[in-house]
Amino acid sequence: MFGLKKDWSLDVLPRYFSLEDYEGGVARWCPGCGDHAVLSAVQRICRDEQLAPEKTVCVSGIGCSSRFPHYMHTYGFHGLHGRALPVACGVKARRPDLTIWVATGDGDCCSIGAGHWIHAIRYNMNMVVMLFDNNVYGLTKKQTSPTTSAGTVTNTHPRGAWLPPLNPATATLGFTNVSFVAKTVDWNPVHLHATLLKAYKHRGLSFVHIHQRCPQYTADVYEEAQKDPSQVLLLTDDDGITLDPSVARMYPNKLEHDPADLNEALAIAGRKDKIPIGLLFQDETRPCYEDYMTQGLGMTAEEKIRGMNAALDRFAI
């Protein structure tokens, strides 16, 4: 075009993302399912932190909660049963610049995916892992899961589950190189949001155990705790989950807990008289495996070939 200066450039306005930018398909979870609250919390965090949708990835395995990537307008990977964590670790290893949210259930993570669960915690790669725990296999219509309470009648145990339930929080706290473990409930959206935000800002793998209601098959599991806040134990600390006083006031039972104390975290997570919620443990000094796996990512093809040849030359006779 004539008349334009050679140094002319177009000023590009900064991008701003609204909630609609993170909304995918219409969620098909049952009305009253706790998954809706978790989805809303993650979408709000993405909006508030202005996470670019093309730089955000949601990874899941199989189960009701694992439909999560379909309802986020970001990149997503709906994987195999129990394989959400190795997929997420693989993505992070090659694309450390991406923000990763992992949605997994008590069956997907703690049963068929238990081996990957252990190693993902040990790798401590930077991502948020959300364990949706409704104490049942909901997608396959009420089968006993690893967290189902003993005596609960299910389609696989019509006379009641035999074994005591697995505790995901105490188990995770016992894994090598654990760096962040928190507990929250889906029926308190303020605490849920604050917990996931704290998890997002942690460098390393943040494991968030979410007590999540299933109105179809385990409606009675959390019913009393939802109606009676005295059955919940709120963990407080300056380095823990920050809540508005008006929200914290609803819980009569509070416990000051230093999240740097791993032994105390184990004791609290193992309590059966009340449901503890808050930050159990955090240690940002733990090594992150991606710091080692991502070395050399920026190498050109020629540099890689030279490096391979140099390595092979060491074996020359």
- Residues, the chain: 317
Query: pLDDT at position 14, please?
Result: 83
- Domain containing 95: what range? 19-313
Nearest CA to 59 out of 72, 47, 50 is that of 72
Question: Does any domain span residue 89?
Answer: yes
What is the rounded distance in angstroms from the CA atom of residue 257 to the CA atom of residue 265? 8
Structure tokens at 110: 């703690």
Query: pLDDT at position 6, please?
Result: 53
Query: pLDDT at position 1, please?
Result: 44
Question: Does any domain span residue 14?
Answer: no
Question: Does any domain span residue 13?
Answer: no
CA distances (Å), 175 to each of 65, 114, 182, 259, in order? 24, 12, 14, 16
Query: pLDDT at position 253, please?
Result: 97
Looking up tokens 């019913």 gives 223
Question: Does any domain span residue 1?
Answer: no
Q: Do 296 and 290 touch, CB atoms closer than 8 A?
A: no
The count of structural domains within the chain is: 1
Q: Do 295 and 203 touch, CB atoms closer than 8 A?
A: no
Question: Does any domain span residue 154?
Answer: yes
Query: pLDDT at position 64, please?
Result: 93
Is residue 67 left, alpha or beta, with left meaning phi > 0 and alpha meaning psi from -120 to 50? Answer: alpha
Question: Does any domain span residue 206?
Answer: yes
What is the rounded distance in angstroms from the CA atom of residue 283 to the CA atom of residue 262? 9
Q: How many CB atoms lie within 10 A of CB 26?
A: 7
CATH number for the domain harbouring residue 138: 3.40.50.970
Which residues of the chain carry a pLDDT beneath 70?
A: 1-13
Looking up tokens 């963990």 gives 235
pTM of the model: 0.91
Question: Does any domain span residue 235?
Answer: yes
The contacts of residue 3 (CB under 8 Å, 6+ apart) are none
CA distances (Å), 303 to each of 93, 235, 246, 249, 300, in order? 20, 51, 58, 60, 5
Question: Does any domain span residue 7?
Answer: no
